[in-house]
Structure 1
């Protein structure tokens, strides 16, 4: 029984390829360069938003098109994910739609701008598509959130392949799931102690085939970074503790956003995860012990 569990755990880490989603928030005028570098390094999933306050979506699109031209990747090899952000999350002087317009107009205008920004050179605006679009946050009421979701559903599957939501609580996620035709495929939340690591919400995601994406994985977890399981794994594999933490979070079934601004770290992070995977396959019993100890820190049995 133990051998089977060990093999399954190692396999789950091994199956997450590529390891990260590249997060493009707060990159400002460096966005284009950094996204290009991330794609060259081996990142194949990119997260952005139609929210000029924190993201430069048009620069993400420029970087993607340059990567396609250079033969680094093809459009079908890249997962491109963006967001509709409500007026409350926007800079009042710089947003992709008129905040006084009806919700339907806001959403259609925002999505049109995202499709235009992120399309490949071979795609017309009518042919362009997004792999996933997230509501950046729930709207003020459940009813408004469901109204927005219904509007997003009209784009699936031709213009948008899948839908998700960020910064969401379990009751809101359950309401969307129960009242939608197109079920959420992605939840993107902060992974940190203040939400007790979203254990019930992540369980719901696991039971309903929803991918849980984490952000603030390093910034929000200084205690986990110094924890014994992370230190033990870092020492055993020779990787930086931040990479050991990433690998252990991935073992929980979580897809991690990585927004490093260092090209050296881009390479090191991808190689470090591969190194941990190889070690986990070679030492399944030790890996199981470490991963179980880590799980007990974020999913304590009460």
Structure 2
């Protein structure tokens, strides 16, 4: 029975999907080189934002088009390109993709148009789409957040395939889900102890087939990096603690943002997740013991709990 349970964990959490989303925040003028390198190493999901303060979305687009032209990957071979609409409060007012004094609808439509242009597959083509567009954060009021969501719904499914939200609390997510025609597909939040690892929100997501994406997975969790389950997995497999932590977070059903700027770490992280998967299949009892201990630390987000990751 332990063997069956452990193998169910493996198939649910890895499920032949890419292990990570490559995060492009804070890469500045290195963005283009690093995105191309991430693709070359095997990343197939890319996260960016229309927020020049922290992201260079245009350089992400350039790197993707060069990779397509060079035959490294096709647009269909990049499984997921997602970007974000960022409110004026999150922007550098001297460098942003829209007029902050414009009405909300104009802000959003201008931001979306800039993203579609930046991320188009062919520089000659005006046709473009993204797999997901997130509200980078809720707007100042729930009413404004719902207004923004309704505006974004008008792009689905042609230019935007799905919608999501970042930096969100459970009450706001519940309000969006209740009122939306296009239900949220993605939540992207910090995964760290200050939010008690979002257990109730993650449960809400799991029950409604919403993908929970984590960021600050390493930076926000120095205690988890030296915790007993992470240390046990690291020592049992002779892998670095960050890879062990990533694997155990993925085992919770979470999709992890990985923004490594090191080519060696990119490859080690991707290879490490595959190695853990193979080890877990061969050592189901050990895997179950370690994964259950980790869940005791951060909460499993199982059906019936209050809700958050």
Question: What TM-score, normalized to structure 1?
Answer: 0.97
Instruction: Structure 2: give runs of 5+ residues left out of the alignment.
Output: none
Paired residues of 2:48 and 2:83 also in contact (CA < 8 A): yes
Q: CA deviation at 1:12?
A: 2.1
1:249-284 per-residue CA deviation (whole Å, 9 max, x = no partner) reads 000000000000011111111001111011011111
> Matches of 2:284 and 2:123 in 1, distance apart?
46
2:191 matches 1:186: no
Instruction: Structure 1: give runs of 5+ residues left out of the alignment.
Output: none
Paired residues of 1:213 and 1:257 also in contact (CA < 8 A): yes
Q: CA deviation at 1:14?
A: 3.2
- 1:3 — aligned with what? 3
Q: CA deviation at 1:118?
A: 0.3
> Matches of 2:197 and 2:210 in 1, distance apart?
16
- 2:101 — aligned with what? 100
2:293 matches 1:293: yes
Count how many residue pairs are aligned between Structure 1 and Structure 2: 301
Q: CA deviation at 1:6?
A: 1.5
2:159 matches 1:159: yes
2:13 matches 1:13: yes
Structure 1: 4+ residue segments shifted above 3 A: none
What SS does the corresponding residue of 2:14 show, helix, strand or coil?
helix
> Matches of 1:37 and 1:268 in 2, distance apart?
14
> Matches of 1:14 and 1:132 in 2, distance apart?
21
- 1:173 — aligned with what? 173
- 1:32 — aligned with what? 32
> Matches of 1:123 and 1:165 in 2, distance apart?
31
- 2:88 — aligned with what? 87
> Matches of 2:82 and 2:99 in 1, distance apart?
23
> Matches of 2:17 and 2:243 in 1, distance apart?
15
What SS does the corresponding residue of 1:15 show, helix, strand or coil?
coil
Q: CA deviation at 1:237?
A: 1.3
> Matches of 2:125 and 2:90 in 1, distance apart?
29
Q: CA deviation at 1:122?
A: 6.8
- 1:119 — aligned with what? 120
1:4-46 per-residue CA deviation (whole Å, 9 max, x = no partner) reads 2112012223315211000000000000000000000000000
- 2:72 — aligned with what? 72
Question: What TM-score, normalized to structure 2?
Answer: 0.95
> Matches of 1:260 and 1:4 in 2, distance apart?
34
Paired residues of 1:243 and 1:273 also in contact (CA < 8 A): yes
